[in-house]
Chains A and B, each alone.
Chain A
Amino acid sequence: MNQLDQAFAALADPTRRGILVHLASGEASVSALVRLFALTQPTISSHLKVLESSGLISRSRVAQSRPCKLEMEQLKAVTDWLENVQEIWEGNYKRLDALLAELKQSQKEERNK
């Protein structure tokens, strides 16, 4: 899998999304994440491994606790695309809202005839 594939797969899991949201407010150690998510250390570690190989996070080699840090650039590549998709669909859906309101109205008028 290339990194973008891995990023998509990584984002498919709610715990991993939760970890990313948490890291958006700053770096965190594994033990902090274990406490926060009330999961076992091996579970958190395996999620972090997936996130790290997808390029969405990095782990410091300096401190012994090896804190996790969000990698904004990779995340932005994925979120930009998702957002673009969202904009196109929402544009269509707003027009559909208007059309449906019109259809509802004419159905009502039809009934009242």
Chain B
Amino acid sequence: MKPAEVSTPSDREVLVTRSFDAPVNLVWQAYTEPALMRRWLTAMPGWSMPVCEMAVHVGGKYRWGWQSENGQEFGFMGEMLEVVLHSKIVHTQHFDPGNLGESMGGEPSVITVTFHETNGITHVATSIKYASKSDRDAAMSTGMTDGMEMSYQSLDEVLAN
């Protein structure tokens, strides 16, 4: 499958799209069942996801927590705003800085994940809508200081639509 594509449809929104070689019912399972989520949603090498609680219905709460080999912790939590089986999940997302000592602002982001299957391939689009510009800036600076290795990618790749 082609690597994930990231774009910025507006100044407060980030859109990530990716296709998977599997029918939508399996992709949905992998996105909603904690035992499966823990196996792929580990964020970065050296991290695990010891906390993963999901109540997949409107008004249901979720909590995700990550831990690194050297004891760093952070997480996300929120509430399900919309759940359409095999099609759409909308939820709020609060950042729990754990012991990283960073803040991502007060207001939650709104995450919308849509699933669409054609010929056994499932297309997943994830939209992250930050509550305000300062929340987005905070999220950006957090990403910048993660210590992730960043290599420079060609312009065309990043800008190609």
**A binding-site residues for B, Cβ under 8 Å:** 1-2, 4-6, 8-9, 11-12, 14, 17, 20-21, 24, 75-76, 78-93, 95-101, 103-104, 107
Taking a contact as CB atoms under 8 Å apart, the answer to whether B30 and A96 are in contact is yes
A14 to B8, CA, bound (A): 11
Q: Decide yes or no whether B112 CB sits under 8 A from chain A.
A: no
Main secondary structure of the interface of B (DSSP, over half): mixed
For A24, what are the chain B residues with a Cβ–Cβ distance below 8 Å?
A: 155-156
For A100, what are the chain B residues with a Cβ–Cβ distance below 8 Å?
A: 20-22, 26-27, 30
A85 to B159, CA, bound (A): 14
Interface size on B, residues (CB 8 A): 49
Taking a contact as CB atoms under 8 Å apart, the answer to whether B158 and A92 are in contact is no
Taking a contact as CB atoms under 8 Å apart, the answer to whether B4 and A103 are in contact is no
Contacts A75-B155, A91-B44, A99-B36 given; does A21 touch B8 at CB 8 Å = no
Contacts A2-B133, A79-B153, A97-B21 given; does A84 touch B26 at CB 8 Å = no
Taking a contact as CB atoms under 8 Å apart, the answer to whether B155 and A79 are in contact is yes
Taking a contact as CB atoms under 8 Å apart, the answer to whether B148 and A107 are in contact is no
How does the 8 Å CB contact mask read for B29-66 relative to A, with 1 for contact and 0 for none?
11000001001111111000000000000000000000
